[in-house]
Structure 1
Amino acid sequence: MSPESSSKRHSAARPIEEELQRAWMLAAERNVSLCVVALEIDCFGEYLAAYGRDAAEDCLETLERIVVSLLKREEDCCLRLGQSGFLLVLPDMPMLMGRDLANKINQAVRREGLVNKESHAGAVTLGAGLAVVNPEPPFDKDVLDTAKIALRKAQRRGLGRLEIADMRVSEKREVAA
């Protein structure tokens, strides 16, 4: 992987909204779907209290390495989201491929075997919320909020869960009305 592609794949310096706008316009131009996946360590508050800030940061760095290693396309991007998670911006990715990627990430995290004695799983797990949209200009940041809401729903359902929010459904209804 070239340094240029590495910077595209994970860039803490690039603002989330700027990256979302770039991907939104790219997907709109190509007339394809955009998947946005919010990932967060389950039980992060408890992990932080048990292991401390340095260990939590080490864990996040390991998770970022795992996530970035699974991003195979140049357009895909992984950004830090808050203190305990990541945001994947995946232009030109169908919903089923986005779902499969989120599942592969969770499997890879489990294989890594990062210990979390505060979780009943005994290991670090990631909750995931996937929002999929067929973008049209202008940019609508609701896709980010929708991914975060889906993440919260997934985490309420348990550890290592994925919740999908298909924003294309409401678009179809509007066209039909």
Structure 2
Amino acid sequence: MVLPTVGDTVSMCSCALLLPAVLLALLAVLITTVASVRQEHENHVGTGRVRDQDLVASYVHELAFVADVDGWLRYVSPAGTASLGLHPDDLVGYGWRQRLHSDDLDHVTAAFERMTLGDPTVECTARVRHTDGTWRWYATRLGTGGIAGRTPDRIIGVAHDITASIVRQHWLEHTNAELEHVAATDALTGLPNRRRLDEVRRATWAQARRNSEPISMLVIDIDNLKAYNDRYGHDAGDRCLVTVARTVAAALRRATDVAARYGGEEFVVVLPSTTSDGARRVAESLRDAVRAGALPHAGVSAGIVTVSVGVATTTPDREDDGSLFTRADAALYRAKERGRDRVETAPPIPGSR
């Protein structure tokens, strides 16, 4: 057997002496903790009757409330009302509808009615007015406080402030919409760009195929734009492009008609459900509108900016979208060859309208 050394003996004695001190310290901490809890409890007890809902609500930062089935508030949690800049006394005894956004009244009222008809829980989202005049979004879960099997006599609700999430969601939606708009828009003219034009052409073609309808396309070119740039400068040339683009877009009468910048000084107009005669009339109206703008161009005999237009019409069972564009583009070049400032129509595909 190994006997303890003098050093071991001293160490064990030291531990024996320290143990009561450690226990006393732990006991002191425990007494302090119990006293703290008791004092907190007494603060809630007040006159000796504990208000359980206040005791629970003091630990909850949500907006908790109790309302009767007619909508009058019986109880509102202090922490929850503080998030609206209010005190419970500002709400208790009043109807919950008074601070609700008018657009949300109907569906929240319907949620309360569902509770009275027996639904155990109902969820709804609504805006509540803050004292500073702004609106806070709350996601609310409702339950009944009545006895099982009887008509509920009160509605209990817990509402979570989701304003930050809603604002973030709206910001993201707005940002995404802006990005999508930028990605589909020509930066100079504001018209749909080539990417967006391709989407429109595919969608219009699919619709025409489903409905067995004709589809027409115009290809428009500003006459002598190079000479315009040489005489007036490229900044003026850009302004000329913008002016013609706005004129073309304004001359279209139907919401389904789409004008886009194809590239350079060329524009394309897609005309759903439009026959060859109808497309020709649209093309002539566009040409006339540009002439009526009377944008000076001293470098040409007309003295003003003009456009040439190629027109083609088909039905999807006769050719594809690419072929339709090719024929409209070929018609444009014939207009150029025949003197500019004119409309030329591509020969019809047999069977097209």
Flag whether TM exceeds 0.5 (same fold). yes
Verify: 1:51 aligned to 2:232, yes or no. Answer: yes
Candidates 82, 101, 124, aligned match of 2:282: 101
Candidates 80, 92, 102, aligned match of 2:273: 92
Q: What runs of 5+ residues in structure 1 fail to find an aligned partner?
A: 1-6, 173-177
CA deviation vs aligned residue, 1:106-151 (integer Å, no higher than 9, x gap): 1111111001111111110100000111113984311111111110
Candidates 190, 204, 209, aligned match of 1:28: 209
Task: Determine the C-alpha separation between the residues in 2 that align with 1:123 and 1:68.
Answer: 19
Q: What displacement does 1:65 show?
A: 1.0
CA deviation vs aligned residue, 1:12-62 (integer Å, no higher than 9, x gap): 263433322221112122211111000001112211211222111111111
Task: Determine the C-alpha separation between the residues in 1 that align with 2:227 and 2:266.
Answer: 15
Task: Determine the C-alpha separation between the residues in 1 that align with 2:192 and 2:218.
Answer: 16
Verify: 1:157 aligned to 2:344, yes or no. Answer: no
Residue matched to 2:260: 79
Structure 1 moving runs of 4+ over 6 Å: none
Distance 1:128 1:13, change over 3 A: closer
Task: Determine the C-alpha separation between the residues in 2 that align with 1:151 and 1:139.
Answer: 19
Task: Determine the C-alpha separation between the residues in 2 that align with 1:26 and 1:52.
Answer: 43
Please report the RMSD computed on the Cα atoms of aligned residues, expressed in angstroms: 2.2
TM-score (normalised: structure 1) = 0.84
Where relative contact order (Cα < 8 A, 6+ residues apart) is larger, the structure is 1
What secondary structure sits across from 1:90 in the alignment?
Answer: strand
What secondary structure sits across from 1:96 in the alignment?
Answer: helix
Q: What runs of 5+ residues in structure 2 fail to find an aligned partner?
A: 1-183
Task: Determine the C-alpha separation between the residues in 1 that align with 2:348 and 2:192.
Answer: 26
TM-score (normalised: structure 2) = 0.44
Task: Determine the C-alpha separation between the residues in 1 that align with 2:310 and 2:319.
Answer: 23
In the alignment, residue 219 of structure 2 is paired with which amino acid? A
Verify: 1:134 aligned to 2:315, yes or no. Answer: yes
What secondary structure sits across from 1:166 in the alignment?
Answer: coil
Distance 1:13 1:87, change over 3 A: closer
How many residues were matched structurally? 165
- Bigger Rg, which one: 2
